[in-house]
Amino acid sequence: MYGGTVSDVLLQEAAVAIRAMGWKVEPTGDDLGLWLVDGKQLSDANFLALARLIGLLTSPETIQ
């Protein structure tokens, strides 16, 4: 399990799962607020929405 807030944990779990699918995933900074997914920039909320859309996350938590 990762340290940090619930949102940070969800973001890290989503990153691991999406990387396992073969996509390049990296945060753009230390705060995990923006992500690069295969060269496209996503906000943290959109990143989690992507993970939910492709079935990697099913929890209803929201970014706080």
Give average pLDDT by consecutive 10-residue segment, the chain, 64 residues.
68 92 92 92 93 80 49
Q: According to the model, what pLDDT value does residue 8 have?
A: 86
Establish if 11 belongs to a structural domain: yes
SS3 track for the chain: CCCCCHHHHHHHHHHHHHHHCCCCEEECCCCCCEEEECCEEEEHHHHHHHHHHCCCCCCCCCCC
Q: pTM of the prediction?
A: 0.76
Q: According to the model, what pLDDT value does residue 60 have?
A: 60
Establish if 60 belongs to a structural domain: no
Establish if 64 belongs to a structural domain: no
Establish if 59 belongs to a structural domain: no
